Amino acid sequence: MHLDFRQLRNFVALVEYGSFIRAAEAVCLSQSAFSRSIQSLEQSVGHLLFDRQSRLLTLTPHGQKLLPYARRFQELNSELSSQLREADDSQNGEVTFGCGPAPAARLIPAAVGEFHRQTPQARVRFQVENWFALHNALTTQQYPFVVADSWQAELDPQLRVQPLSPQRCFFICHANHPLAQQGQISLQALLRYPFAAPYLPPGVRKVLATLSQQQDFAPAIQCDHIYALLSTLASTQAVSFASEDGFALCRHSHQLVKLELSDLPEEWRLMQTRFAIISPVHAVQPPLVEKLIDIILHTDRQHQLTLLAQDEER
């Protein structure tokens, strides 16, 4: 016995609508084509499925036996179609997310590159923003996750924080800056110059305020685009700070040097990045999003292992 999915669909439609005309309209067939489909199904089964002698459309005993199986076939067909669409989305969909300026320097490009190698048909869009913009995009469900500083996110019970490896932070300037040629310098000498930085998380701002003996700290130049920010160091006498990744990436291209402080306070000596993957705590992420998050975490761990191996070699 050969059963055709479309014929079974038409059979169920006829039972549910109780009329050849309405059932044919529901499945977008002409009445004659619909009638032929039902007749072909009866021929395949080898029995009449509807009582043609009754004024009302009633099922024969064989039709009653077939009905639950026909409905089950429909459910399986729908379930299979859904599974196939999900599998297709896991390879061909799109992931949109946001990240802060510092993670955009090395981690995110490396992770996106690996993600693209593993799923070349998928599309990725990410936007580099400060924390305020990223938090707003996260809470309005514009992004399923962001990669950013976790200082404020850790205080929000509605957010899930997956920490990334911390990195040391240090002061930097352009190679032609007056401080670049002085060897070790004092904190007081450093603070005589304007400061250039992206949006400062509360923890970093508090440390800088303490170092400069101010109530609060606001940079003289602020820009959330890391390349543009560091480019301003060549045109001004501003100083800035960078993580290990940011400095390694831009050291040669922007002619940057690391500033060595002779009296570096303990507050800054212990200063490290606190980046994390941040997402709504109860969100169920699509497979493609989960895959990218896993790759970001793996890329971060591998980078830290490489750094540790390099330290041991030294």
SS (H, E, C) 127-162: EECCHHHHHHHHHCCCCCCEEEECCCHHHCCCEEEE
> For position 88, what pLDDT does the model report?
56
CATH architecture of residue range(s) 5-90: Orthogonal Bundle (1.10)
* Ramachandran category for residue 141: left, alpha or beta (phi over 0 → left; psi -120 to 50 → alpha): left
Instruction: Give the fold, CATH level 3, of 93-166+274-313.
Output: D-Maltodextrin-Binding Protein; domain 2 (3.40.190)
Per-residue pLDDT tens for 101-137? 888 888 999 999 999 999 998 999 999 988 888 989 9
Parse the chain into domains and list their residue ranges: 5-90, 93-166+274-313, 169-269
Least confident of 28-32, 159-163, 167-171, 310-314: 310-314
DSSP bridge pairs for 95: 124
Per the CB < 8 A criterion, the answer to whether 202 and 151 are in contact is: yes
pLDDT confidence bin for 265, thresholds 50/70/90: confident
- Asked if domains 93-166+274-313 and 169-269 share a fold, the reply is yes
CA distance 19 to 52: 12
Per-residue pLDDT tens for 167-184? 888 899 999 999 998 888
Per-residue pLDDT tens for 203-241? 778 888 888 888 888 999 998 888 889 999 999 999 998
Flag whether pLDDT at 266 surpasses 90: no
> For position 172, what pLDDT does the model report?
94
Query: From start to end of 246-299, where are the E strands?
Result: 256-258, 275-280
Flag whether pLDDT at 287 surpasses 80: yes
Q: Where are the alpha helices (DSSP H) in 175-286?
A: 187-190, 202-211, 226-231, 244-250, 266-269
Instruction: Give the fold, CATH level 3, of 169-269.
Output: D-Maltodextrin-Binding Protein; domain 2 (3.40.190)
